[in-house]
Amino acid sequence: MIIRTTSDVKDTERDVHAEDGSWESRRLILKKDGFGFSLHESTVHAGREVKVWYKNHLEAVFIFEGVGEIEDVASGKVHPLKPGTLYALYKTDKAVVRAKTKMVMVSVFNPPVVENETHDEDGSYPLTD
């Protein structure tokens, strides 16, 4: 059994921030925890955008605070994001998440994130093991 709070991981190696300050990710479950997925509390700051293409992972995201939008790069279609909204990205999905206000969400990755990965130049996390 694991009992862990976001306060437990704050300011540890599990508390990961984008170099440009646009997002932060508190990684509550990582690969080494042995669950087959990783679980993160993620924040995108107001007025910021994050380009993602998790070509090595599947990601599901549930928004529980704030508003914004996600754009499907392939189609140009924009979807609103607000508390209670889920979006899930296949490995082929390129997207841009834009936060109108501070957005706080829970993200699940499969395969799990290993530790302190950050987005590379195309918006993905490397597949490590």
Q: In what order do the strands lie in the sheet with 23-29?
A: 15-17, 23-29, 38-44, 103-110, 58-65, 86-89
pTM: 0.87
Query: What is d(CA 47, CA 70) in angstroms, rounded to the nearest whole number?
Result: 13
Residue 127 has pLDDT above 80, yes or no: no
User: All domains of the chain, ordered by start, with CATH?
Assistant: 1-44 (2.60.120.10), 46-102 (2.60.120.10)
User: Residue 78 pLDDT > 60, yes or no?
Assistant: yes
pLDDT digits (tens, 9 = 90+) for 81-119: 999 999 999 988 999 999 999 999 999 999 998 865 655
